[in-house]
Structure 1
Amino acid sequence: MNRLAILILCTFTALFAGCASTQPSKFYTLSPSAMPAGAASANLSISVGPVSIPASVDRPQILVRTGPNQVSLAEYDRWAAPLKSDIARVIADNLASMLGTPQVSVFPQSSAAEATYRAGIDVLRFESELGKGATLDVLWTVSSRTKGPSRSGRTTMTEPVQGDGYAELVAAHSRALGRLSGEIAATIREFEAQKP
């Protein structure tokens, strides 16, 4: 009888010790690039989206590449918001700063339908390698609400990670999105310069 009681006590002790050692989750968010504001353009409005991302990264956990054909889910390192929403928010913030306009919305907000330009974003690759780099491969289209110009482009880059942690990896993705935003902003500036 004593052996059974000791076995039960040991089992419960091991279970409680396992539960107590669970590490807390850490949450990360992409951030806009710190760029100087462009010349103010009060009548310029932009809608960002829709944004599509690969199904493999459309999850709360950060997906990390660990080999040529292998990835790993970081169970305790997670996105604070859905990734495609965070990407749209950051690009919108970057464009507002780069183009000097507060009128930048994220599709499908009601103000998006009346925007002068729409920037559609199709993320083909959003890859993360701890201590190495953040890879972004995006097809984007900038179109005018009127029957004006439309231009598509493809931006592919790997931004080096400046450290070994997840915070540094997310910062590298933020820098990559800043460079992508710069290409979109340059296209919108070209369209504006061509107006009569």
Structure 2
Amino acid sequence: MTTNNSSLRHCWFILSVLLLLSGCLRPSNITTLYTLEPIRQQPLTSEWKDVSEMTLLMPVQLASHLQRRGLLYPQVPGTTRSSATDLWAGPLDQLVSQQIVAGLKDLLATENIAAFPGPRFSTVRYQVEVELNEFSSDGRQFITTAVYTLSDVSNKTILVRKTFRQQDNLNHTGYEGTVTSASQAIGDLSKEIAVSLLAAHRQNVTAHAR
């Protein structure tokens, strides 16, 4: 009886060791969260201070493959997959929206920029819409494609509708490099939107001065 009990304890010991080893050998499923890095930019002009009304950014629209929380990584040429462990810290549309608003505030030197719905009882002059169609890395470059529309709310007219395309070489490998390039891409998109807003506003001012 003693021998049987000893053998049983020995078997349990070996089984426990094997279970512990199998746990140690399993790949880690640690989740890492990423957010877009702030890109501070110098003001393009001081004339926007004369625009007392709000410029409102509508909710950013994402292509279907960008609506998952996981960062995208390349597979076979032309395809991507969403990571299960490397995730955006929040919904990507909201992260992009926050960065565009911050960028426009810097570039136009004004606080009168807001994301939808904006401050209560505010009067909106210009409206910005952004559709993000591509926002991923192919392992060598970060690729961004977006369509932005600028509208004059008071006159109910579309001022500009343009496509923004950019491919930048990744300066760093891994998801850290992807996030750095993604942040810069949104900074560059914000600058193009700001330039277009300025041009449209100047045209409006000239037209009303005639």
Q: Please give the alpha-carbon distance, in whole angstroms, between the structure 2 residues aligned to 1:39 and 1:31.
A: 24
The verdict on how the C-alpha distance between 1:180 and 1:120 changes in structure 2, with shifts beyond 3 A counting, is same
The range that moved more, 115-124 or 67-76, is 67-76
Contact 2:149 2:158 in 1 (8 A): no
Unmatched tracts of structure 2, length 5 or more: 1-6
Q: How big is the shift at 1:121?
A: 0.6
Higher Cα Rg, which structure: 2
Counterpart position of 2:76: 67
How do 1:75-94 and structure 2 match up within 5 A? 75-94=84-103
The range that moved more, 121-130 or 104-113, is 104-113
Q: How big is the shift at 1:12?
A: 3.3
**RMSD between aligned alpha carbons?**
2.4
- The residue type equivalent to 2:154 in the other structure is T
SS at match of 1:46: strand
Q: How big is the shift at 1:65?
A: 1.8
Instruction: Give the TM-score of the pair, scaled to structure 1.
Output: 0.86
Q: How big is the shift at 1:75?
A: 2.5
- Write the deviation string for residues 76-122 of structure 1: whole angstroms up to 9, x where unpaired: 22111110101111111111111111111112334597322111011
Q: Please give the alpha-carbon distance, in whole angstroms, between the structure 2 residues aligned to 1:78 and 1:103.
A: 32
Counterpart position of 2:131: 122
Match of 1:31 among 22, 37, 51: 37
The range that moved more, 78-87 or 6-15, is 6-15
Q: Please give the alpha-carbon distance, in whole angstroms, between the structure 1 residues aligned to 2:120 and 2:36.
A: 24
Contact 1:114 1:145 in 2 (8 A): no
Moved over 6 A (4+): none
Q: How big is the shift at 1:152?
A: 0.5
Contact 2:143 2:166 in 1 (8 A): yes
Count of matched residue pairs: 194
Unmatched tracts of structure 1, length 5 or more: none
SS at match of 2:58: strand
The verdict on how the C-alpha distance between 1:33 and 1:44 changes in structure 2, with shifts beyond 3 A counting, is farther
How do 1:19-58 and structure 2 match up within 5 A? 22=28, 24-40=30-46, 41-42=48-49, 43-58=52-67
Counterpart position of 1:135: 143
Q: Please give the alpha-carbon distance, in whole angstroms, between the structure 2 residues aligned to 1:139 and 1:121.
A: 6
The verdict on how the C-alpha distance between 1:81 and 1:110 changes in structure 2, with shifts beyond 3 A counting, is same
Q: Please give the alpha-carbon distance, in whole angstroms, between the structure 1 residues aligned to 2:121 and 2:22.
A: 52
Counterpart position of 2:175: 166
SS at match of 1:116: strand
Q: Please give the alpha-carbon distance, in whole angstroms, between the structure 2 residues aligned to 1:18 and 1:57.
A: 33
Q: Please give the alpha-carbon distance, in whole angstroms, between the structure 2 residues aligned to 1:100 and 1:72.
A: 39
Q: Please give the alpha-carbon distance, in whole angstroms, between the structure 1 residues aligned to 2:107 and 2:78.
A: 38
Instruction: Give the TM-score of the pair, scaled to structure 2.
Output: 0.81
The verdict on how the C-alpha distance between 1:143 and 1:157 changes in structure 2, with shifts beyond 3 A counting, is same
SS at match of 1:81: coil
